[in-house]
Amino acid sequence: MLKDSFNMERLDGRTFEVGQPYRYDDHRIILITKGNGEIQVDEAIITLSAGSLLLLSKGQVSIFGDNSLSGYLLTFGDCFWQRTPASASNCKAVLFDDPSVKRHLLPDPADGRAIEDLFVITLREFEAADYSNKADVLAAYLKILIIKIANIHSLLQKDIATYDGRLYQDFLALVRREYGAAHDVSFFAAKLGVTSRKLTDICRQHGSGAKEIIIDQLVSEAKRALQFSTRPIKEIAGDLGFTSPYQFSSFFKTYTGSSPMEYKQQFVKIDI
């Protein structure tokens, strides 16, 4: 169903409840056209203003600190993205799968107007009466928007279209999907049909080793679960693929400096 895989709406004070954490099962693009405010994305505080463009990936958690912002909200799932032409796939992978990519953009006025025009046209099409190939038309608009954002972000690098570039993007997407299945580079390398050394070398060309990328994903998911859910640590450890809470605690403390319980207690509200 189109409504379950793609949605567009105007952003206003009724869209999100201030202070309420939202974890997404889809990818989101937010364009702010009016107002100033803040949003927390995972642990980062981002200041938004007119012209801000924000990219939120599936699985991220955000909390709005202000409800006076106006603009547009576009959401799409991976199943809908499969409708878009293949020529845009690498751009989407870079923008939404690579954790090192900046997700808050402030396009120059000309690019900002072009982006807003695309939002207006796409929203108009989305709100129009249904017809046979409506989803394909919306997918085409989404492709144009993604490529435009990638151009603004200067992400249309030549190596994205190479074998190594595609392999790197496939690895990032695979880690995002299967971080709880295994934590070894060899597991992901086998899935991609390459050696662990080849995969590590390709990742290092982009700034981080393959193992570091897996660890970063695990730490991010652990922090989200500890901060924004009430599940017991034992259950979180299991979901992340650890054999025991002790193993998870040792891992988490190694890479954050605090135990899972210590980290979780930072966010417990105490009534006096």
Q: How far apart are CA 65 and CA 22, in angstroms?
A: 12
What pLDDT is attached to residue 171? 92
Q: Please state, in angstroms and as integers, the Cα–Cα distance from residue 262 to each residue in 31, 98, 256, following that order.
A: 36, 29, 11
Map residue 63 onto helix, strand or coil.
strand
Q: What is the largest CA-CA distance in the chain?
A: 59
Residue range 142-193, pLDDT digits in tens: 989 988 888 887 654 444 557 787 788 889 889 988 999 999 999 999 999 9
Residue range 188-212, pLDDT digits in tens: 999 999 999 999 999 998 878 999 9
Residue with tokens 């998911």: 221
Q: How far apart are CA 159 and CA 205, in angstroms?
A: 11
- φ, ψ of residue 26 in degrees (nearest 5): -145, 180
Closest by CA to 78, choosing from 217, 152, 173, 182, is 173
What pLDDT is attached to residue 211? 96
Q: How far apart are CA 231 and CA 239, in angstroms?
A: 11
On whether the CB atoms of residues 155 and 94 are closer than 8 A, the answer is: yes
What pLDDT is attached to residue 272? 31
Q: How far apart are CA 42 and CA 46, in angstroms?
A: 10
On whether the CB atoms of residues 210 and 185 are closer than 8 A, the answer is: yes
| Cβ atoms < 10 Å from Cβ of 58 | 18
Which alpha helices (H) appear in the chain, and where do they start and end? Answer: 2-5, 78-81, 89-97, 109-127, 134-152, 163-178, 185-192, 196-205, 210-228, 233-239, 245-256, 260-265
Residue range 59-100, pLDDT digits in tens: 888 998 876 889 999 999 888 777 766 666 667 777 887 776
pTM for the full model?
0.77
Domains and CATH numbers, the chain: 2-156 (2.60.120.280), 160-265 (1.10.10.60)
Residue with tokens 């200041």: 47
What pLDDT is attached to residue 1? 53
Q: What is the DSSP letter of 15?
A: T
